[in-house]
Amino acid sequence: MVTGIDTVVWVSALVVLAIVALLLILIAPWKSVRDEPAIPTDIETRLLLGEDPSKVAADADAAEARRAPVVDLDANRPDEDS
């Protein structure tokens, strides 16, 4: 009889702990973490496929360096600085 009660107490305690852990996993991320911009899908895919994160980061930096800045060549447009 005592063993049955002890088992019920242990099982119910484990169920409560599992529910608390699940709630912490679902609720715990801070607002600042949720507000971060999403990872581009190509980078996310490469990371999920197991590529080396440092290589993925180096490739992303190299791709960003190859992009040319956009320059407005409209001579009739007034300067925004003045």
Q: Cα–Cα distance between 43 and 53 in angstroms, integer?
A: 9
Q: Has this prediction a pTM greater than 0.85?
A: no
pLDDT tens profile 27-45: 877 777 778 888 899 999 9
Report d(CA 46, CA 39) in Å as an integer.
Answer: 11
> With contact defined as beta carbons under 8 Å apart, do 67 and 77 qualify?
no
User: What is the Cα 31 distance to its own chain's centre?
Assistant: 12
What residue has token string 């049955």?
Answer: 4
Q: What is the pLDDT along the chain (82 residues), one digit of tens a residue?
A: 567 778 888 999 999 999 999 988 888 777 777 788 888 999 999 999 999 999 999 998 898 888 777 777 776 777 665 5
Angle between helices 53-66 and 41-48 (to 10 degrees): 160
